[in-house]
Amino acid sequence: MRTWAGVVAAAAAIAVSQLVAALLGVVESPVLAVAQLAVQLTPGGVAEPVIATVGRADKPIAIVVTLLAIVALGAVIGRWWPSVKANALVVVLIVLSAAAVVARPNTTVGGLLACAAGGLVLAGVLGLLIRTPSTHARPDAEDADGRRRFLRLSGLLALGAVVAGGLGEVLSARSARRADVERARSVLASAPGRVPAPAGTDLGIAVQPRWKTPNGEFYRIDTALTVPLIDPADWTLRIHGMVDRPMTLTYKDLVDRGLKDAWITMCCVSNPVGGDLISNTVFSGVPIADILKEVGVQADADCLFSTSDDGWTCGTPVSALTDGRDALLALEMDGVPLPIEHGFPVRQVVPGLYGYVSGTKWVVDWELTQFSKVSAYWTDRGWAEQGPIKTESRIDVPRSDVKAGRVPVAGVAWAPHRGIEGVEVRVDGGRWQEATLARVPSTDTWVQWSWDWDASEGDHVVEVRAIDKGGEPQTAVRAEPIPDGASGWHRISVSVS
C-alpha cells in the first residue's frame, strides 16, 4: 500500500511539475532536463552500443527510463513514509532535478519552480494517502472501509495526475514554440530540389538508395532529447577568442552574403561497417573560410570550438576550414531551409570530417582556440580529437537471396575530400574484380558502384573494398566505431539457387 501510494504520489508530482512548467512557459521541463542530464552523463562506452542497437529509439527510451526512475524513487519514499529518511529523499529529488535544470543552457526560474512544485506535491500526496486508516493505524488489518477510501483517493489522484500531465502537454510551451518556429521556417525562401543531382550520379539500380538522400531519409544523430527551437530572427552566432575582430552574425547577415551550394556526404563516426549513418545531399551556406578571414584568426589558433544552442560542443581543426574545401555555415539542405532536426536555422558542414568534429547543428557560438585548451562533448567521452572520415565501401544490392545467373552487385564507396579512385569486389575470397563507378561532382561525396556477378548455385560471400584517389586501399583491419570510426571490409552472404 505504501509503495503504491509512493507511485501515485510520484506520478502526481511529475504531472504537476510538467503542468507548472507549461504554464510558466518553460521550454524544457524538469523531467526533460533530468533525462537530458542522464544522457549527458552516460559514458561513451555505454552510449555507443545503445545507439547502435536501438537507433532513433534512444530518445524515447531515455525519457521513459527517467520517468520510471522517478516513479521507483517515489515508491521507495512511500515505503519509508513518514520518516526523516523519506523527507530527506524528497529534498534530494528536488535538489537533483533543480541541479539538472540549472546545468542546462537557457535555464529559467520557471524550471526551478516546477521542480519545487513537483517535490511539494510528492510530499503532499503521501501525507494525504498515508494518513488514511488502512496504511496508518493498522496497515495489516482488514479495514475494508479504509481500504476502499484509500483506493478511491489514490485512484482519483492518479486520474488527476493524468489529466494534469495531459493538460501540460496540450498547453506545452514547446508545441506552441515549435509551431512558431515552423511558421518562421515556412516563410523563408524555399525551392525543394533547386539544385538537381548532377547527371550520371545514379546508376539507377532498383532498391539501391539514391545518390541524393531525400531530407526525410537523411540520417539523424544528436544528443538533444527535444530539439532546440530557434526563430531565425533571434538567431546569432557570436565569434570570439583568438581573433583580431570579434563579431556577432545574424541570420540576415548570412542571407545577405549569398549562399554557395555544395554536394556533401555526411557520415557519423558511429556508423558500423555496412551501416547507414551516412547520407548525401546539397547544402547551401556561407563558406566558413570567408567568415574566419573577416574575423582574423590568430596564427596559433588551431581549433574552432563551436557550441550549439543546447550546449553540445565540437572542436574542428582550423586547417580543415581554411584549406579550400567547401566547409559551410549552412542554412539549407536540398533547396529548403534546414529541417529543425537537422539544425535549423544554421549548422556547420565540413566535407571529409565525421559529424562529431564538424557538423554542429543549431550553432550559436564560435570560439577560436587551441585543441590543447578545450575538450568537446564526444572527446570528453572517449572519442578521438581528430575525426577524418575513413575510406569505406558498402554493398547495398543484392538484399536477399538470388537466382543463379547474372546478378547486379552494387553499393556506395566514400573517402570524402580525398575521393574514390576505384572499387573492387570479390566472391568467396577469389580475385578482386573492378567495379564500374558512377559519376560524382567532386571528391566530397560518396560514389555509387556496381559489378555484374555471374552467380552459381550455392552459398557465397561477397566482399567490397575501395581505393582512394591517393592510391590508398581501404584497410581490411576491423575497427569498432570508438574512438575514431569503424574500418574493415563489408561482406554479405548470399544464397544462390
Residues that bind ligand MTE (CB under 6 A): 218-224, 266, 268, 308, 310, 312, 342, 355-356, 359-362
The one of Mo ion, ligand MTE, none whose footprint includes residue 490, by CB under 5 to 8 A per kind, is: none
The one of ligand MTE, Mo ion, none whose footprint includes residue 311, by CB under 5 to 8 A per kind, is: none
CB of 8 to Mo ion, least distance (A): 41
Phi, psi values for residue 20, rounded to 5°: -60, -45
| Stretch of 78-86, 314-322, 350-358, 453-461 lying at the interface with Mo ion (CB under 5 A) | 350-358
Which residue's CB is nearer to Mo ion, number 182 or number 341? 341
Which residue's CB is nearer to ligand MTE, number 103 or number 496? 103
| Stretch of 165-173, 348-356, 398-406, 455-463 lying at the interface with Mo ion (CB under 5 A) | 348-356
The one of ligand MTE, Mo ion, none whose footprint includes residue 443, by CB under 5 to 8 A per kind, is: none
CB of 420 to Mo ion, least distance (A): 21
The one of Mo ion, ligand MTE, none whose footprint includes residue 122, by CB under 5 to 8 A per kind, is: none
Q: Does 486 bind Mo ion (CB under 5 A)?
A: no
CB of 226 to ligand MTE, least distance (A): 12
Which residue's CB is nearer to Mo ion, number 221 or number 420? 221
The one of ligand MTE, Mo ion, none whose footprint includes residue 359, by CB under 5 to 8 A per kind, is: ligand MTE
Which residue's CB is nearer to Mo ion, number 1 or number 268? 268
CB of 464 to Mo ion, least distance (A): 23
CB of 378 to Mo ion, least distance (A): 8
The one of ligand MTE, Mo ion, none whose footprint includes residue 266, by CB under 5 to 8 A per kind, is: ligand MTE
Residue with cell 571528391: 443
The one of Mo ion, ligand MTE, none whose footprint includes residue 222, by CB under 5 to 8 A per kind, is: ligand MTE
Residues with Cβ < 8 Å from 415, sequence gap 6 or more?
A: 389, 390, 391, 392, 443, 466, 468, 469, 474
How far apart, in whole angstroms, are the C-alpha atoms of residue 271 and residue 267?
7
Query: Strand order of the sheet with strand 236-241?
Result: 247-250, 236-241, 363-369, 303-308, 313-317
How far apart, in whole angstroms, are the C-alpha atoms of residue 345 and residue 466?
36
CB of 356 to ligand MTE, least distance (A): 4
Q: Does 312 bind Mo ion (CB under 5 A)?
A: no
CB of 212 to Mo ion, least distance (A): 20
* Integer CA distances (angstroms), 247 to 66, 236, 308, in order: 40, 10, 17
What angle is formed at CA 262 by the lines to CA 258 and CA 267, rounded to 5 degrees?
A: 130
Which residue's CB is nearer to ligand MTE, number 50 or number 496? 50
CB of 43 to Mo ion, least distance (A): 16
How far apart, in whole angstroms, are the C-alpha atoms of residue 330 and residue 456?
49
Q: Does 355 bind Mo ion (CB under 5 A)?
A: yes
Long-range contacts, stretch 179-182, CB < 8 angstroms, 24+ apart: 180/229, 180/231, 181/229, 181/230, 181/231, 181/340, 181/344, 182/340
| Stretch of 44-52, 219-227, 422-430, 481-489 lying at the interface with Mo ion (CB under 5 A) | 219-227
Which residue's CB is nearer to ligand MTE, number 325 or number 347? 347
What angle is formed at CA 18 by the lines to CA 77 and CA 35, rounded to 5 degrees?
A: 70
Q: Which residue among 356, 377, 383, 489 contacts Mo ion (CB under 5 A)?
A: 356
Q: Does 268 bind Mo ion (CB under 5 A)?
A: yes
Q: Which residue among 221, 242, 321, 440 contacts Mo ion (CB under 5 A)?
A: 221
How far apart, in whole angstroms, are the C-alpha atoms of residue 225 and residue 490?
32
Q: Using CB atoms, what's the residue nearest to Mo ion?
A: 268
Q: How many residues bind Mo ion (CB under 5 A)?
A: 4
Cross-strand bridge partners of residue 97:
none
Q: Using CB atoms, what's the residue nearest to ligand MTE?
A: 355
Terminal CA-to-CA distance of the chain, rounded, Å?
63
The one of Mo ion, ligand MTE, none whose footprint includes residue 362, by CB under 5 to 8 A per kind, is: ligand MTE
CB of 118 to ligand MTE, least distance (A): 27
Residues with Cβ < 8 Å from 70, sequence gap 6 or more?
A: 10, 13, 14, 31, 34, 93
What pairing do the DSSP bridges indicate for beta strands 247-250 and 236-241? antiparallel
| Stretch of 140-148, 185-193, 267-275, 292-300 lying at the interface with Mo ion (CB under 5 A) | 267-275
The one of Mo ion, ligand MTE, none whose footprint includes residue 310, by CB under 5 to 8 A per kind, is: ligand MTE
Which residue's CB is nearer to Mo ion, number 356 or number 371? 356
Q: Does 378 bind Mo ion (CB under 5 A)?
A: no
Task: Point out which residues bind Mo ion (CB under 5 A).
Answer: 221, 268, 355-356
